Amino acid sequence: QLQLQESGPGRVWPSETLHLTCSVSGGSFSSSYYWGWVRQAPGEGLEWLGSIHYAGYTYYNPSLKGRVSISMDPSKNQFSLQLTSVTAADTAVYYCARPETDGNGYLFGYFDPWGRGTLVVVSS
Amino acid sequence: EIVLTQSPGTLSVSPGERATLSCRASQSISSTYLAWYQQGPGQAPRLLIHGSSSRATGVPDRFTGRGSGTDFTLNINGLEPEDSAVYYCQHYGDSRWTFGQGTKVEVK
């Protein structure tokens, strides 16, 4: 059963870059076509940040105004999130998740499975 | 840009009762790309329904999704205390993923 696990610093200084990694286990990284990141600010709802296709194509939430980038390292069964110029508004639980597809890579769009999430606090 | 509006914001129900949660899209969407999630306190979201009406693996048949066009509904029959959670609808389209703001269900 595919499992995802987020890792990274729990605190980031304002104006710095947030960097998180999602490690995939229990299945073949290369057999999944897409990977993605979602976050949830304290007491708030879910916000899609971005997704990456196995061929390297990336898709980002326009509301983040170019601050977000996603990359992957299939050799390590990992994909990563970078968020630049962070502020207190970026304090959130960050989840990695897999957008589901059919066997040919046709996106169904729903996220399954999800990681447990990791809290990142932006504070000095 | 598709906006998903969920209602009500909070729903308080007694055990055994039925809950009806609404998700309205700002424009017509394909039901193929509408999903529902359950998020318990301190937990990651859990997929309940995809394709508007298909239950995910292991989801009890008390959870039923339906809808088309702009109006989608999640019904939960025979509510149990462990169903207390926030429920989100989600859409995918044009390389963008969007979530509704959530409905909190309190079973007590």
What are the tens digits of pLDDT across the range B28-72? Answer: 999 999 999 999 999 999 999 999 999 999 999 999 999 999 999
d(CA A104, CA B107): 41
Taking 50 as the pLDDT cut, the residues of chain A under it are none
Cα–Cα distances in angstroms (integers) from residue B10 to residues A20, B20, B36, B70, B103, in the given order: 33, 11, 16, 21, 6
Cβ neighbourhood burial of B94 (10 Å; 0-12, 13-18, 19+): exposed
Q: Answer whether A4's CB lies under 8 Å from A23's CB.
A: yes
d(CA A92, CA A43): 9
> What kind and span of H or E run contains B54?
strand B54-55
Q: What angle do CA B98, A123, B41 make, to 5 degrees?
A: 50
d(CA A81, CA B67): 34
CA B79 to chain A, closest CA, distance in angstroms equals: 23
A contacts of B2 (beta carbons < 8 Å): none
Residue A31: the pLDDT is: 83
Cβ separation A108–B44 shorter than 8 A: no
Q: Comparing C-alpha atoms, which of B43, B19, B47, B20 is closest to residue B34?
A: B47
CA B50 to chain A, closest CA, distance in angstroms equals: 7
- Mean pLDDT (whole number) for B80-87: 97
Torsion of CA B37, A66, A11, A54, to 10 degrees: 60
Residue A28: the pLDDT is: 82
Residue A27: the pLDDT is: 85
Residue given tokens 């059919």 in the structure block = A102
In DSSP terms, B10 is beta-bridged to B104
Best residue in A2, A22, A46 to probe B by mutation, most B CBs within 10 Å? Answer: A46
